[in-house]
Amino acid sequence: MWKSVLTPIHSDGWRFIALGAVLALVLFFLWAPLGWLMLAVTAWIAYFFRDPWRVTPTRPGLVVSPADGMVIAADRAPPPAALGMGEAPMTRIGIFLNVFDVHVNRVPLAGVVRKLAYHKGRFLNAAHNRASEENEHMAIRIASVEGADIAVVQIAGLIARRIVCGLTEGQEVATGERLGLIRFGSRTDVYLPAHWAPLVMPGQRVLGGETVIADAVSQEPARQGRSH
């Protein structure tokens, strides 16, 4: 019960919360309305950095969402060139995170981190497909337990200005494990082998570490859907 009521705060957020609280206290002395406004901003910062508990499906082959948000792409695209995974199109699932979504990213499939590649780029609207290539991003190549290499890409958005990745090359990671976060609006892409069909579709909401987005051992075709 307590896990559903008391949501943990990501460690990266405490300094921002502390700064907001100090500013709110100072503004209360100067002019109370400004203090209340800063207090509201501090509460939103705490909300933004929330890191809720998740229950991750663990059947072999299941690929879980690396982020909370809305699926905006379920298509084919080459992985980031810096990862050295070739130019052949892979199954790409793109997830857009608005400023109200949980921004903690999670590992979609267990394996070993083979390569990390940071790209200092632009800050376009993360909902645009151009953002995958042009925006600032951190690309992560993982040799999965299924025998195939996959990639996760943390992409900065229009107002995002900081990508945090806690992984190191050679590290073993588990499905659903926290890998980092992106601050204040962003996008997260996953690149999977071309024959792994997406089990989600554009417009669908997903939860990081919980929603199954693909299955390495399933022969199910890509799903279709409609909004209503």
| Residues known to be catalytic | 186
Give the dihedral sign, CA 30/33/36/42.
Answer: negative
For residue 39, what are the contacts with CB-CB under 8 A and spacing of at least 6?
Answer: 20, 21, 24
Contact 46, 17 (CB under 8 A): yes
Token couple for 44: 């939103």
Report how far residue 93's alpha carbon sits from residue 90's, in angstroms, rounded to the nearest whole number.
10
CA-CA-CA-CA torsion for 65, 69, 74, 75, nearest 10 degrees?
A: -100
Give the dihedral sign, CA 48/4/207/209.
Answer: positive
The half-sphere exposure of 97 on its side-chain side, counting CA atoms within 13 A, is 28
* Phi, psi angles (nearest 5°) of residue 105: -95, 150
Per DSSP (E only), the strands in 78-158 are 90-97, 104-106, 111-119, 137-144, 149-156
Contact 79, 93 (CB under 8 A): no
Contact 140, 175 (CB under 8 A): no
